[in-house]
Structure 1
């Protein structure tokens, strides 16, 4: 499966709901990718076949309460005890947390940040779901707790040391998100077109008004531009030339685009736009999460700004 094909799958999944694509991003980019890229052959054989078959579900433990945008400030610690590692700490806002069979967890060690695979049922490892969400309601979001969790050295990913490990995973996930957000925007435009064509106002279809057609055309322009950007990223990724800054630009641009389109669609639907009988408000609320996770809009702006100026502002 090449990068463009994967991107199109993400687009169509998120056309249904952002939670569906989020599940795939976590499973593939944030869990399977680090085991494949940073793990050894024994680890790959142990976990990847079951994950690829959907028999094992993964989650990705990086974000903490004290530092979402600053992973270097993580407080989760791992210390060596004999031939094992002992983890203490907590992770927050973790997709798939309580339903995962395994967690790829990032923790500070004496040598730097390392990744560990922690399996469900390991003593001291527990989860708690986060409720009362207005966004990604079709997705399980949890907190992870590690209280003296002992894992063997065989579950430490040997190829990851330092923040490059988790940041490499985030680059993979952001690529899929850049495609996925387009799907949500397409769903909103389709709904706006259907509604405006059927809704009668002042004796004619709402879509017969110039102002409405201009807004619909603007949505189509934004979506098409984002698709061209995502396609270019996919072609660069296929060629092995994709850079993290390019992914940051696309994640920021396409999520911003999708959220703007969803809000415009909701507005065009009038009072009906706040009803769950229509998809616009659900997509808009979901996209509030999508534009925030895997790097906020501001973080990606600063990444692009650093590339342009050569100066680090964060």
Structure 2
């Protein structure tokens, strides 16, 4: 692809960009190209002019992601500060850039006296990622608060999609392949900032107590199977603390995988597959990956 005449950009375009520093697991290969657009128009113009056969993938905080060791072909789009703004539209509504973090969204809601978005405090990602994945925690998910989102399609066309166009199910949406979420509008309810902060503090304390937050991890590894909690079936199958190389099933919360130091992405993904195999053999439950796995093996 390096022989292609890539469209001109106003943002930053980097060839063979290492992705390990940008993802929570700190493992994996490089992006063939990493594009950090200056603004929505820059992204739209770039995708319009890009060969339609070149694959495009969005990257947020890299929290819920395994980048395979052979890297990611095509273009990885990372939305930076230009996409991290949060604007209050009215007494209960915020418009948030696709690069805004869950912590920024929930804090902005608190400052605006808007309740109902506190759960985003605990989602380790950006608006673009958790709108695509219907991210959620503590009994709430994106579909409960989303009004609409703006996306740039792989063709470069800009489109606004209402909630009912996204086909949300548990940790899944029907967003088109290669579409990049550049903003989302969320609606909560009027609330006292102190009450919103108290709920955010409660959620933060619950996460701190139960999850290995200071580790190189990817967040929840598997979706909760119908009628079960993923961590419980993993624990029952004897997988707590299981290791492959420097990859380990967390002792603290066994639906989290950890990179203890120098694990490769193959180690981490292989450990996840071993957990799936042992759970299937023990209980017959089929665990489904929640973490995205992208790129090619080395």
Shorter-chain TM-score bucket reads under 0.3
Larger radius of gyration: 1
Greater share of helix: 1
When normalised by structure 1's length, the TM-score is 0.22
